[in-house]
Structure 1
Amino acid sequence: MPWWREHDENSILISDLNAPPSTDGPGKHEFVSPFQSSGDILAASGELLAHLQRSGLRFVPNSAAASMASWEQTLAAQFTSPATSAGVTSAGVTSAGVTSAGASEVLPENHVAASQTLAPTLQERPRDRQQPSPTPSRLTPVASSSVNSAPYPGVSLPVAEVVTALDSLSQSVAGCTRCKALASCRTQTVFGEGSPQPRFVFFGEAPGAEEDKTGRPFVGAAGQLLTKMIEAIQLKREDVYLLNTVKCRPPGNRNPAPDEVANCREYFETQLQLLRPEYIVCLGAVSSQALLQSKLSIGRLRQTFHQYHDSKVIAIYHPAYLLRNPDAKRAAWADLQMLMKDAGLR
């Protein structure tokens, strides 16, 4: 699955900035503040980049050499102590891990005066004091969650009875007017389609314009990408079942409101009870949060198997999000590979 895109020489991919800066080569140094660890600084920078990426920003300006030199001088003046307080060894290496020769490359002429201002503070702190651990990323996957560890209620029905029950439920959905605003502007409801005995269910958010016209789930651009994702894990679209959290298209393709999700909960829970899949792949935050009854983001819910009755649940980015943010395809592919490995598909 490709996730590249051309960009000009004056920009750099945010995803390329996730790794800590290199300490190799001229002009590249890791600065350690006396008030916090470099890990804390890197973690905070990573959180900012992740936030920008989630907001849709893909590129940031490349650094200018002149600006970098000025920035390094400022940091060096603030965070580098004089030789007497930093503990210069006979080899010329300070306790901060920068040689005196290397420091001279970035220190301004008045660095001694600036450093002496901080010298008392540095001397009060033991040089061998353990630095605090880096702040954990808010995007670290959470432990597996279980909405209901009990088996699906009722008994597993024969295929013919599942088909009959789904058809009956589909007719009820078609006449639903619980959400007055959605019922008044829809062309038709979008119930779901696929195998009545699926091993995998793909659980989306809401119908789009194309789905509203055809009455079928995932037939627009996002649906075409989803089909490719399904085929990439050695499955066919007809082998799985596709459904959405809500059955009507919200105006302007906005996210479903909480009350709209609540009104449709009976429908999608009944569908899942009839289908009893081994795996449920939640596409996007709306379906993930609705099924797992969580307020956590996809970044926190992904890369972990959760449980919904007898089904294993994973949360991945919605195909529509991947179309807007192609760099996130790498993460989505990692999630699908995790699914393939657990399901024995590779």
Structure 2
Amino acid sequence: MEAEKVLQEIAGQVAACKSCQLSFSRKKAVPGEGPAKAEIMLIGEGPGFYENEQGRPFVGAAGKFLDELLEKAGVSRKDVFITNVVKCRPPGNRDPLPEELSACGAYLDRQIEAINPLIIVTLGRYSMSKFLPNVRISEVHGQPAWVRGRLIIPMFHPAAALHQPSLKTSVERDFSRLPEWIHQARQNGHGQATRQGAAQPPAGAAAKPPRPDPVPQQASLLAPLEVELEKPEDAAEEKPENDQPTQLTLF
């Protein structure tokens, strides 16, 4: 089945999904949007107030900031696929629960398989942990890692800079390097990372879609990220009020 048809099928299933409690409080599910053949896939945490109203990802304040960051990096939003690890808004913009992440996991895996992006940019620690478990985003943001033949770039969520202005410089600096990473990833292509030393997905995670067979990695600026396993970050987060219309904050 063509990627576009697969994504449409997934979107329909997400809209009708009743697999977790988020389906009972949502207004509109937010499956994601973007071209089926996007080279770049951005994965955030979950819909916020405006996303829940419109059924589209990143349309609130964080979305506007994301558009600015992409534009400054020379990347058009219409050329990237944007989605979240959970497709329905958690009440009060709280963190998604394990069972909610699990319920949406298969949808995200199928989206990745259909699109087969060259680069995945994770926005915040929840999407990061799907690919790079047990690391602190404050220590690895802006450091690309080859994971099973695909370039994963962990970044702070744009909302982090809106709630903690001290992070804005880091967010802008990381996004400014996107052209460099895109160029290098295009040169290497899928499968240029060796499994030896490459970051691994979370233990016990749902089965991931097939990845291209890796070949020995060429010398480049994008060597596999070496990370020290540790407990997940418990950094304090500024949580929005229950009815505050904002995108989820990810730090």
What is the TM-score when the length of structure 2 is the normalising length?
0.70
Q: Does 1:322 align with 2:161?
A: yes
Matches within 5 A, 1:1-346: 161-179=2-20, 181-292=21-132, 294-344=133-183
Preserved contact between residue 158 and residue 171 of structure 2 (Cα < 8 Å)? no
AA paired with 2:170? Answer: A
Moved over 4 A (4+): none
Give the 3-state SS of the residue equivalent to 2:78 in structure 1: helix
Distance in 1 between residues matched to 2:107 and 2:146, nearest whole Å: 19
Give me the identity figure in percent: 35
Q: How far 1:337 sits from its partner (Å)? A: 3.1
Name the SS for the 2:177 alignment partner: helix
For residues 142-170 of structure 1, give each alpha carbon's deviation from its aligned partner in whole angstroms, at most 9, with x where no partner exists. Answer: xxxxxxxxxxxxxxx7xxx1111110111
3-state SS of the aligned residue for 2:153?
strand
The answer on whether the counterparts of 1:302 and 1:314 sit within 8 Å (CA) in structure 2 is yes
For the pair shown, which has the larger CA radius of gyration, 1 or 2? 1
Structure 1 equivalent of residue 238 of structure 2: none
Name the SS for the 1:273 alignment partner: helix
Higher relative contact order (CA 8 A, sep 6+): 2
Question: What is the CA-CA distance between 1:263 and the residue it aligns to?
Answer: 1.3
SS state of the match for residue 86, structure 2? coil
5+ residue gaps, structure 1: 1-156
Higher helix proportion (structure 1 or 2): 1
Q: CA deviation at 1:295?
A: 2.5
Runs of 5+ unmatched residues, structure 2: 185-251
| SS of residue matched to 1:286 | helix
Task: Report SS of the residue matched to 1:218.
Answer: coil
CA offsets 1:199-246 (integer angstroms, 9 cap, x no match): 111110000010001000000011010111111110111011100000
**Equivalent position SS for 2:95:** coil
- Match of 1:192, as an amino acid? G
Shift of 1:257: 1.0
C-alpha deviation, 1:305, in angstroms: 1.3
- Equivalent residues, number: 184
TM-score under structure 1 length normalisation: 0.51
Per the TM alignment, residue 272 of structure 1 is displaced from its structure 2 partner at its CA by 0.7
